Structure 1
Amino acid sequence: MTDLFYLTEGNPPPQNAAGGFFTTRDGRKIRYGVFAAVARPLQGTVVLLTGRNECIEKYFETIRDLADRGFGVATLDWRGQGDSSRLLRDRQRGYVRSFRDYTRDLEQFFEEIVLPDCRGPYYILAHSTGAVIALLASPSMVNRVRRMVLIAPFLAVPDLRVSIATIRRVCAVFCALGLGRLYAAWGPRPKLPTPFEMNKVTSDPERYRRNIDIYRAWPHLGLGGPTIRWLKAAAAAAEAVSDPDFMARIQVPTLIVGAGADQVVSTKAVESYARRLRVGSLLMIDGAHHEILQERDLFREQLLAAFDAFVPGTGDAA
């Protein structure tokens, strides 16, 4: 362990690492990291937003890739996961009251860390639920963020016969009955990790093993399944960002990247959303699983090439 980040073999930390904790307005401690670029010319800062049950350490490789392109990186562990404050006594339960709590934390992160300490221009690179948080926050980011790249946003569950609105309504009933802190799925983290052959997130065995090793060595960084309240909050956020009036307020140019073999979020929903978003464009990476940044080079390099094309450096940033 360093002073702030947790190290495992095969997952070296990026150079020029700094960070700490900030305290949210409702008293939660949020861990963040800031990583300076190692290449020139300087291209600005990428604000990297992780998905559910992810931590900063899982993105060390991606942070190094961005730093090698001349980008600084600013990232954080969302409340309730990673090394940020947990919201329930049982640390295993994935819980949040509302995704608006995440967007408020992101807003504070910008105000207290990114804008004062990180070089502009600013871009967002976000995965899964982090992508939904970015969409939810985007109307207030129009004068701060130049472009967003959103990977496999969690807008719907694949092959589910009920709508996301139905999921929200059913979860709301359970929450009204005082059951919101119960697991909605999966339960506590298993003592043994899911075998690679059964995982749904990546086809790369080495990166899968590397990420498993992080949570094996530092189990306090991991989570079990989501609670009913978390699922209600996620469904409500997916509904909110899909509302046509809300989508019309999104003005930040956005590249949405879908994983063609995604078994975690609905690829059809991702495609439909990108087509309806006025400032949006779509890249579908055929054959890729949900965690494209943790995928084989064949898929990962397509994403990074699209990022390079969509998020150019600017002369006034150097």
Structure 2
Amino acid sequence: MGASKIPAEDIDTILNHIIPHIKQHITIQLTCPTKSPFVLALTGLQGSGKSTWTDALASTLRNKHNYKTINLSLDDLYLDHDDLVKLRETNPSNKLLQARGQPGTHDTTLSVSFFRSLIDSEEISIPSFDKSLFNGEGGRVPSHQWETIATCDIDIILFEGWCVGFQPLAEEKAQLRWEAAGDATCGPAYPTDTLKEHAVEHILGVNRSLRQYCELFMGPKHFNYLLHLDTDNLANVYEWRMEQERALRQYKGTGMTDEEVIKFVKGYMPAYELYLNQLRKGLFAGIEGKGQLRVVLDQRRKIIAIKSIA
């Protein structure tokens, strides 16, 4: 299965797990003085098809199940261009902050304001970030161009992002993980042991930023359900992204080379190494009424397992 199309039966299978939680939430909301939409978080590895899954799920929720659904990507919450430039220029030795993506490159004030407005405002404006601006460095779309919608018209918000659902480690544990990592100077063509390619203080900085995200807008208390697109082999991430970029080069004449893809994906690998195992164990441990589903994809992005996480 390619990333461009997800079988309708797969979407229906996934939603069969989620819809009971949505119905329960909406029933509870009928007696709540303060209304809040159902927050369906979607997290997935690079190249797993997060955007395609998000669009398919949102469309099915709207058109088949009649839920008023909006979606937001974590990417739309990036710092604006000038702030991203300032961040990388003030941290020249930190490879994790030389491009947008990592915790620490998003606008936490904007993020908190958006999610609060879902509850305490009559309407919201949905942030948007255009990755094509500034020669591909990206920049925020002017706020007057954002889509505005009445909050009473929202049953579900589908919030997707590559590190959504990740939880920070205790600083000592993150340090120990870094110390135990393998030698980054040798290894396979598609490396999945990359922590030592970064200074420990840079790894710890991302961990601190993730902690702030989770406290403010991205932790388990902020979500009702988490859908996790995972794989049985982490090296698949490289192949998936290469496939996407090759298609871009073929149809648009632009896209990363295979070598550039490897460099790009390696930038995300440290977070996978630190946080994926905990995510697989469960985001909502000890929290009643919430749910998590792990969807395991093979090299061709075909579903090979669906696991409900208690």
- Bin for the TM-score computed over the shorter chain: 0.3 to 0.5
TM-score (norm 1): 0.37
Instruction: Tell me: higher relative CO, structure 1 or 2? Use CA pairs within 8 A at least 6 residues apart.
Output: 2
Q: Which has the higher helix share?
A: 2
Normalised by the length of structure 2, the TM-score is 0.38
